Structure 1
Amino acid sequence: MAERIQAIIESIEMAKKERGGDSGVSLMAVSKTHPYAAIEEAISCGQLLFGENRVQEILNKFPTGHHGYNLHLIGHLQSNKVKKAVQAVDAIDSVDSLRLARLISKEAIKVKKVMPVLLEWNTSGEESKAGFTDEKEYFSLLDEAQELEGIRIEGLMTIGPLTDNEMDVRTAFATLREIAMKSKITYPHLSFDTLSMGMSQDYRWAILEGSTVVRIGSAIFGQRDYT
């Protein structure tokens, strides 16, 4: 695993150089369906940022009160799982509605926590993917953000389209970058510095379009076991 992680880090650095500029790119290891032993191995290699898709898998797999690494929820969050999610993770990267943002804020306040969140956009237009598609609702959330004392918006997240067409994928990522730039101008008091986009198959293209966090699963842990 150490060699796989190192190879990805080197690939990230190459993409950063091609992009130009000094902005960093963080590697998030997505460990869904893989056992905690695999996560411990990744930690031993220096990997300290992890993403999981499902609240129940987090509760079943990770020890309570984990220390020394950061755990983010990156999958769709159902309203009936918000309370458990707020207690179990360090950040929620998949906020896709004003209603969900309100619920997260409410539960975070109860446990005296300010939850870092990313706002998820559906930039591919694929119905199977979650995320904002309507600017009106998105900007309504930003209008209300200062009143939601239990969350802290740190940026945006998206999943690229499932295709090998580089132009289509990079267009989706460029769309997220443009939304972030527009948001910064309209809401200068909020942060949109984090752009979480790019997975095992397309993270290099994502970095070229401005990604600051890439979410890598199979390239680190191998193929997932859904049995």
Structure 2
Amino acid sequence: MDVRTADSIADRLRIVMDRIRQTALAVGRDPNGIRLVGATKKVSAERVREAVAAGLRVAGENRLQEAIPKIQALRDEPLRWHFIGHLQRRKVRDVVARFEVIHSVDTLELASEIDRRAQAAAIRQDVLLEVNVAGESTKAGFSPHQLEEQFAQFSGLTHLRIRGLMTIPPPVDDPEQARIHFRTLRELAGRLSALAVPEVAMTELSMGMSSDYEVAVEEGATLVRVGTAIFGRRDA
């Protein structure tokens, strides 16, 4: 069955999960080390519930105002929530502690604000650092060079748990064209890990979406953010 012709959310989800598993095995990776994040932007709570019934365990939201009612509506489901969209500093207070992981920390100033809010909430917030691997002017994120220069400063943020990196590569016609960007992120994570900054880990790589998640898995993704391939095409 092809994900493009599958009739139901459950069928499409099973196809995506099977492709992740088969791709991981083909390159000698443990499929259990890869988590599928269902990107639920503009997806109703009822449709997310269908995916949960079929095995989805992590949902990723881009917009806080859309996420809050969904989190409330699905509070009894075995579902964890990740924040995967651009985060404004003025909304940090409402994101911290509500989401298991924030994928999109794109400046040291934003990281500091999350640290401050996490301290006030008496928690440690798991985050990923967003990297603009292709240097696109329209996208947020650290450049690889900038992140390497600033990396040691994250050790002073005692209420963050930096778990790894995230990237959104440029749109491509062929998934193979995204490989270089995924490889760049993986190699950057290796260099940063070698710096051995206290309290900072490089164990997670959030990369790959509906059009290229199999290539991302081949290149080391531990979190893949898939929306359209599960829920179908939605309005932007």
Using the size of structure 2 for normalisation, the TM-score is 0.89
Question: 1:76 aligned to 53, 73, 86, which one?
Answer: 86
Residue 23 (structure 2) aligns with = 15
Cα deviation for residue 60 of structure 1 reads: 3.6
The answer to whether the 8 Å contact 2:132/2:144 transfers is no
CA deviations over 1:155-179 (Å, ceiling 9, x no partner): 1000122012444310010000010
Which residue is equivalent to 2:103? 93
- Supply the distance in 1 between the matched residues of 2:55 and 2:16 (Cα, whole angstroms): 13
**Percent of aligned pairs sharing the same letter:** 38
- Aligned match of 2:163 in 154, 169, 186? 154
The Cα offsets for residues 16-68 of structure 1, whole Å up to 9 and x where unpaired, read as 12222336211110000111111111111121101011112112432089353
Q: Which residue of structure 1 lines up, in the alignment, with residue 126 of structure 2? A: 116
Contact kept in structure 2, 1:34 and 1:225, CA below 8 Å: no
**Which residue of 21, 24, 35 corresponds with 1:26?**
35
Please say if 1:35 is aligned against 2:47: no
Q: 1:187 maps to what in 2?
A: 196
Letter in structure 2 aligned against 1:15? T
**Distance change (3 Å), C-alpha of 1:152 and 1:140:** farther
The amino acid of 2:29's aligned partner reads G
Q: In 1, distance between residues paired with 2:54 and 2:176?
A: 34
Post-superposition offset of 1:130 = 1.6
Name the amino acid aligned to 1:82.
V
One-letter amino acid of the structure 2 residue matched with residue 127 of structure 1: S
Match of 1:103 in 2: 113
2:192 corresponds to 1:211 = no
Shift of 1:145: 2.3
> What is the CA–CA distance in structure 2 between the aligned matches of 1:197 and 1:97, rounded to whole Å?
18
Per the alignment, residue 61 of structure 1 pairs with 70
Q: 2:5 maps to which residue?
A: none
Please say which of residues 12-21 and 115-124 is displaced more in the overlay: 12-21
Please tell me the residue identity of whatever aligns with 1:12. Answer: I
Give me the CA root mean square deviation. Answer: 1.9
Query: Corresponding residue for 1:163?
Result: 172
Pick the aligned partner of 2:12 from 4, 11, 23.
Answer: 4
After superposition, the C-alpha distances for 1:152-208 in whole angstroms (9 at most, x for unaligned) are: 001100012201244431001000001000011112642101111000000011111
Q: Residues 208 and 224 of structure 2 are in contact (CA less than 8 Å); yes or no, is this contact kept in structure 1?
A: yes
Unaligned runs of 5+ in 2: 1-8
Preserved contact between residue 30 and residue 216 of structure 1 (Cα < 8 Å): yes
TM-score by length of 1: 0.92
Match of 1:174 among 183, 188, 192: 183
Contact preservation (8 Å) 1:58, 1:88: no
